[in-house]
């Protein structure tokens, strides 16, 4: 008996089922499973021999390596994130909240390429040509030779792009507004988005043009609906920032041709996005000197050192379960630091609400921020301002020890460059800085901060004697 082909496909994650169901077991989404006319499940004609496979040439891995030819845009912060520029025939997905500046960034990228005499095309499905022009005018780019169109039909777009000289860069703003004749569902649905993306990816691979797809983002930070598009493209970039801050951070979430830990920093100004070559200065520009509960963290983002302020507020709670709120850092790491403070340093926080914030809307992923977070927390609890000219970094282990982290020299150099005279760092960080203070355990640091405190910590100092 012939095996029954699964033909119910989750439109969100692509999982296949033999029958319809309301909720996808794989991704947990509701109402995303739809029957697909399965072209793959072609029935075999009885009495006819199966088609013989065509032979194709296999190529050796060595020798034929023409390395991925890239072209840079000239926007250094953008090129840094893509890994040195666009790879020919690659497709990028750029996600971000509405109004964060995706269209602004991309028209600037298109103009930068056009300035380098590369043909770049901007297809907008959301705005009229006049609106795109108006924005370009505001950015002072109206003389750039970017070619514009307001189109949403994918077949027309692909036909137009394939006509004449192949563009170097094609921008599709946004993929959710595009639709193809091949499928029947409405624009913006998962099936449409996937089919449109497929057509554009085929075009990119065939022609060698780099294609950027703009994707909308849902509230929880996912690129709306089609997670599948993320798997289809070569790179996924996300453009982030807080509405109230002017900083914007471009981050690679996935990159087949480059690193994923680099960030590009921009500042949204009246004249568009400005590249920020020295982000530390920007992130520290609004420091509240002398206030308790703030510590400067000397971090590394990708290949670049970055100083950023970590702010903590510890206040007695009026709730049964105290609040723990974190912005810009991993809540699990906060829980861990709080547990270590309690277990090894005698700092009791179970009766306190704890808030932790990374200034400037930056999101930190490094464990090296542990020490700075702990210093900020204790500083707030003890009402003891930390020295304004000190930076902190180091990973805290569950035993309360401060562990060394990578790239110490780069962190210290950046701190020195920005006028910080002191660094509090793990033991064995070397003699790079004259005023480097090495701490072996968190308890030493806590005792020292508390000694300068204006408020006595209710800690009983059971275990905090050691160092
Ligand atoms: P936009 O690029 O349209 O966002 P997206 O495409 O991600 O939805 O940017 C919209 C915001 O950017 C808008 O709130 C105004 C701001 N902006 C500036 O501050 N300066 C500028 O020069 C431009 C063009 C936009
Ligand atoms: Mg837009």
Q: For residues 234-248, give the mean pLDDT.
A: 85
Q: According to the model, what pLDDT value does residue 401 have?
A: 93
Q: According to the model, what pLDDT value does residue 224 have?
A: 59
Which atom number of ligand 1 is nearest to the Cα of residue 126?
6
CA of 138 to the centre of ligand 2 (A): 15
Q: Whose CA is nearest to atom 15 of ligand 1?
A: 99
CA of 123 to the centre of ligand 1 (A): 17
Q: Mean pLDDT lowest for which of 99-108, 215-224, 229-238, 448-457?
A: 215-224
459 CA to centre of own chain? 39
CA Rg, the chain, in Å?
A: 27
Which atom number of ligand 1 is nearest to the Cα of residue 96?
7
Please state, in angstroms and rounded to a whole number, the distance separating the CA atoms of residues 345 and 333: 17
In this prediction, residue 367 has a pLDDT band, given cuts at 50, 70 and 90, of very high
CA of 104 to the centre of ligand 2 (A): 7
In this prediction, residue 329 has a pLDDT band, given cuts at 50, 70 and 90, of very high
Q: According to the model, what pLDDT value does residue 467 have?
A: 36
CA of 173 to the centre of ligand 2 (A): 7
In this prediction, residue 465 has a pLDDT band, given cuts at 50, 70 and 90, of very low
The pLDDT tens digits for 391-417 are 999 999 999 999 999 989 889 988 888
Pairwise pLDDT comparison (3 vs 74), residue with the higher score:
74
Give the chain's mean pLDDT.
85
| Residue whose CB lies within 8 A of the most ligand 1 atoms, among 99, 171, 267, for a mutation test | 99
Q: According to the model, what pLDDT value does residue 274 have?
A: 93
CA of 392 to the centre of ligand 1 (A): 35
Reading the block at residue 156, the tokens are 């027309």
Q: For residues 201-222, give the mean pLDDT.
A: 85
The pLDDT tens digits for 260-269 are 888 899 999 9
For the purposes of burial, counting CB atoms within 10 Å of the CB of 88, is it exposed (0-12), middle (13-18) or buried (19 or more)?
middle
Which atom number of ligand 1 is nearest to the Cα of residue 102?
7
Query: Closest ligand to 173 CA?
Result: 2
* For residue 43, pLDDT beyond 60: no
Which atom number of ligand 1 is nearest to the Cα of residue 268?
19
Which atom number of ligand 1 is nearest to the Cα of residue 100?
7
Total-model pTM: 0.76
**Distances 113 to 84, 88, 144, 377 between C-alpha atoms, Å:** 14, 14, 9, 47
The binding-site residues of ligand 1, defined as CB within 6 angstroms of any ligand atom, are 96, 98-104, 135, 138-139, 268, 270-272
In this prediction, residue 221 has a pLDDT band, given cuts at 50, 70 and 90, of low
Please state, in angstroms and rounded to a whole number, the distance separating the CA atoms of residues 7 and 191: 14
* For residue 45, pLDDT beyond 70: no
Give the whole-number percent of the chain exceeding pLDDT 70.
88
Q: For residues 335-348, give the mean pLDDT.
A: 94
Q: Whose CA is nearest to atom 11 of ligand 1?
A: 99
Q: What is the DSSP letter of 30?
A: B
- 269: preceding bond cis by omega (within 30 degrees): no
């Amino acid at each position: 008996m012939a095996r029954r082909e699964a033909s119910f496909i989750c439109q969100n994650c692509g999982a296949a089922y033999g029958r319809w169901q309301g909720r996808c077991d794989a991704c947990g989404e509701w109402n995303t499973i739809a029957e697909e006319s399965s072209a793959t499940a072609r029935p075999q004609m009885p009495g006819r021999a199966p088609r013989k496979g065509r032979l194709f040439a296999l190529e050796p891995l060595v020798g034929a390596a023409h390395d991925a030819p890239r072209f840079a845009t000239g926007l250094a912060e953008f090129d840094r994130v893509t890994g040195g520029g666009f790879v020919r025939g690659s497709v990028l997905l750029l996600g971000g909240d509405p109004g964060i500046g995706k269209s602004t960034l991309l028209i600037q990228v298109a103009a930068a390429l056009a300035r380098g005499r590369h043909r770049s095309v901007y297809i907008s499905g959301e705005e009229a040509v006049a609106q795109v022009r108006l924005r370009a005018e505001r950015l002072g780019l109206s003389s750039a030779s970017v070619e514009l169109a307001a189109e949403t039909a994918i077949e027309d777009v692909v036909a137009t792009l394939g006509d004449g000289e192949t563009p170097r860069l094609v921008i599709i703003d946004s993929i959710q507004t595009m639709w193809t004749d091949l499928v029947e569902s409405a624009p913006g649905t998962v099936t449409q988005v996937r089919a449109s993306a497929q057509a554009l990816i085929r075009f990119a691979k065939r022609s060698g043009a780099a294609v950027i797809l703009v994707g909308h983002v849902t509230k929880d930070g996912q690129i709306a609906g089609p997670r599948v598009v993320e798997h289809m493209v070569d790179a996924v970039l996300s453009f982030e920032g807080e509405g109230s801050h002017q900083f914007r951070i471009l981050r690679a979430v996935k990159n087949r041709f480059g690193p994923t830990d680099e960030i590009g920093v921009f500042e949204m100004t009246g004249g568009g996005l400005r590249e920020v070559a020295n982000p530390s200065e920007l992130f520290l520009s609004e420091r509240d000197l002398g206030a308790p509960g703030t510590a400067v963290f000397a971090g590394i983002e990708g290949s670049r050192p970055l100083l950023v302020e970590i702010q903590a507020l510890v206040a007695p709670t009026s709730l049964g379960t105290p609040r723990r709120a974190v912005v810009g850092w991993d809540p699990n790491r906060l829980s861990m630091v709080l547990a270590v403070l309690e277990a090894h340093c005698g700092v009791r926080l179970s009766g306190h609400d704890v808030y932790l914030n990374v200034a400037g809307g930056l999101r930190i992923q490094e464990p090296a921020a542990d020490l700075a977070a702990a210093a900020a927390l204790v500083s707030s609890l003890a009402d003891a301002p930390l020295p304004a000219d000190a930076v902190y970094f180091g990973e805290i282990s569950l035993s309360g020890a401060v562990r060394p982290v990578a790239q110490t020299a780069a962190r210290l150099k950046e701190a020195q460059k920005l006028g910080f005279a002191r660094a509090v760092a793990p033991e064995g960080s070397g003699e790079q800085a004259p005023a480097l203070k090495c701490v072996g355990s968190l308890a030493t640091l806590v005792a020292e901060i508390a000694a300068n405190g204006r408020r006595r910590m209710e800690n009983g100092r059971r275990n905090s004697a050691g160092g």
